[in-house]
Structure 1
Amino acid sequence: MTTLTGKSLRLSRLSRRGDGRFLFVPLDHSVSDGPIADMRRYGRLLEEVVIGGADAIVVHKGRARVIDPNLLARCALVVHLSASTPHAPDSNAKVLVGGVEEAVQLGADAVSVHVNIGSDTEAEQLADLGRVAAGCERWGVPLLAMVYPRGPRIENPADATLLAHVVSIAADLGVDIVKTVFAAPSHRMADVVAASPIPVVVAGGKDERQSLADFATAAIGTGCAGLAIGRRVFNHAVPRRAVRELAEIVHGHPHPHTDQPELTREGVR
């Protein structure tokens, strides 16, 4: 019989279908990019994401305090602990702006940390990741690490050999789920997944030359455990439809949804 722990229980909440696959919708962009919606419409956007079938949303601690608790009965909460803005001398220098204990007090199911491998402050970011991983073990909280090859020393961030190193760093430092970029050519992502002892999810990115469905299908086809897509959801003409489509690809079957009318992007921005 499997022994349940606080971490294993919280990990199970991150996959709504119980299949070990994940669809995360990061909505933490208001720190790095600016507002994605006013507060009233932000609330409607959250509803659309949850109804569409997202497994979890990713937000900063301040936003977590104003989310309707009823939504979180149907969707896991990941509190993001890292931040930077484009106005800093080095926008790749992620710093910790929250802690595991704060996230637990907010009812988080997991926390996330961003690390840029190849940045000028890589050493500090790795040290922060190690400290957060230790805190997650103490509190029984899963850790999602967003680990990207990004900085002046990175020539090709989509190189599969480099990405295999990146996901291995996350696993070796105590991460439970690692998010990174998709390899190019896409079939090499299978090598990245094979290098990792922990689930790998891929970021959606900004490239819209490939349809969202084709991108998601390719990612899952290479063995990725899921997706973490923010911009291409909240900028979609109908966010709920985008999430529903992604959820069906990630989990392999439709998610029951209400008969409420879908909200267009104009309705949530």
Structure 2
Amino acid sequence: MSTSTAQTRANLGRRDVDAEQTGGVGFGKRRRMERLGADGRFLFVPMDHSVSDGPIATVRQFRRIVADVADAGADAIIVHKGRAASLAGVPLGRCALIVHLSASTGHGPDANAKVLVGTVEDGVRLGADAVSIHVNFGSATEAEQLRDFGTVATACARFGMPLMAMVYARGPKIADPFDPDVLAHITNVAVDLGADIVKTSPPHAIDNLSMLVQHCAAHLLISGGPRNEDDDYGLVQLAQDAIAAGAAGLAIGRRVWADPDPAGVVRALAGVVHPASTPR
């Protein structure tokens, strides 16, 4: 081995040691990201809707849905901190936990005005593999939501906690929430402010999705939205098109847990997102 090669390897090793000695932030985030999606692909099931929209299911049914989707191959569930604490004893297996930190309800004067109701420390205390926040661009409180985004991102960097940003174009200044140029803008803002994973709506024309992927430096996930009875564009087709366009995966909530067979939906989607994985 040449002297220069040996020195290069020594320097690389020193940087690894330095990272661990400064709190293991780099190592901690890598470990958590691997638990979220070891192959760089992600299939998340958001279940935070009980705050924004009302009860998803009875307590027993909620726990059963969580266990079923975890067993079927979901990479992570997304819930609020109180719900996370209530899931003690539910077998998650390899399914990760993401604690959601944003909230609003339809009973308030502005449902798009998301506020922080949790901290990164809450996620650490609960053993979360990531935390998530929600920002509605174009809303009357966009500035406050961006400020909260920055605060959370700084804390995530301090704790080595992956940050997922759910970003949507919603508010009085938004003419078309599915405009690909608008979606490209808001996903870039999420990356610039520190998100590791970005979830947003698919554009009207799925062909434009590759443009979003090319402009997004973080892992881009596509949401499913509410089920439209008149729409025959199914979730599996959405998953196939998203992965083909280069997206890192999907975050599908109500179209999973509102289905009569949540596990079956997750199993079908997991077959697209993780085609080489062994069924769980």
Paired AA for residue 7 in structure 1: K
2:269 is paired with a residue whose SS is: helix
Alignment-derived partner of residue 213 in structure 1: 236
Amino acid aligned to 1:250: V
Instruction: Give the residue type in structure 2 aligned to 1:12.
Output: E
Is the 2:35–2:94 Cα contact (8 Å) retained in structure 1?
no
**The structure with more helix, counted as a fraction of residues:** 2
Q: C-alpha separation between the residues in 1 aligned to 2:41 and 2:254?
A: 20
Gaps of 5+ in 1: 258-269
Runs of 4+ in 1 over 6 A off after TM superposition: none
> How far is 1:215 from its partner?
1.4
Query: Does the residue aligned with 1:232 lie in a helix, a strand or coil?
Result: helix
**Residue identity in the other structure for 1:107:** G
Superposition deviation, residue 256 in structure 1: 2.0
Quote the residue 1:139 is aligned against: 159
Task: Give the direction of change, closer, same or farther, for the CA distance of 1:140–1:114 in structure 2 (3 Å limit).
Answer: same
Structure 2 unaligned regions, length at least 5: 1-11, 17-25
Q: Which residues in structure 2 correspond to 1:47-62 (within 5 Å)?
A: 47-62=67-82
> In the aligned structure 2, how far is the partner of 1:41 from the partner of 1:195?
40
Q: Which residue of 2 aligns with 1:151?
A: 171
| C-alpha RMSD over aligned residues | 1.4
The 8 Å contact of residues 227 and 255 in structure 2, kept in 1 or not, is answered as no
Quick one: distance in 2 between partners of 1:146 and 1:174? 13
Instruction: Choose which of 90, 97, 114 in structure 2 pairs with 1:94.
Output: 114
For 1:252, the equivalent position in structure 2 comes to: 275
Between the aligned residues of both structures, percent identity stands at: 53
In structure 2, distance between residues paired with 1:199 and 1:230: 18
- 1:207 to partner: Cα distance: 4.0
Task: State the match for 1:260 in structure 2.
Answer: none
**Are positions 1:9 and 2:11 aligned together?**
no
Match of 1:109 among 129, 137, 153: 129
Tell whether the 8 Å contact from 1:171 to 1:198 is kept in structure 2 after alignment: yes
Question: Residues of 2 paired with 1:237 and 1:215: CA distance?
Answer: 20
Give the structure-1-normalised TM-score. Answer: 0.92
Report what 1:263 is aligned to: none
CA contact (8 A) 1:112 1:144 kept: yes
Cα deviation digits, residues 191-218 of structure 1 (max 9, x gap): 0110011110011101431111111111
Residue identity opposite 1:232 in structure 2: R
Deviation of 1:126 after TM superposition, in Å, equals 0.3
2:92 match: secondary structure: helix
AA in 1 matched with 2:64: R
Instruction: Identify which range, 210-219 or 119-128, moves more after superposition.
Output: 210-219
* Distance (whole Å) between structure 2 residues aligned to residue 80 and residue 126 of structure 1: 16
Is the 2:35–2:129 Cα contact (8 Å) retained in structure 1? yes
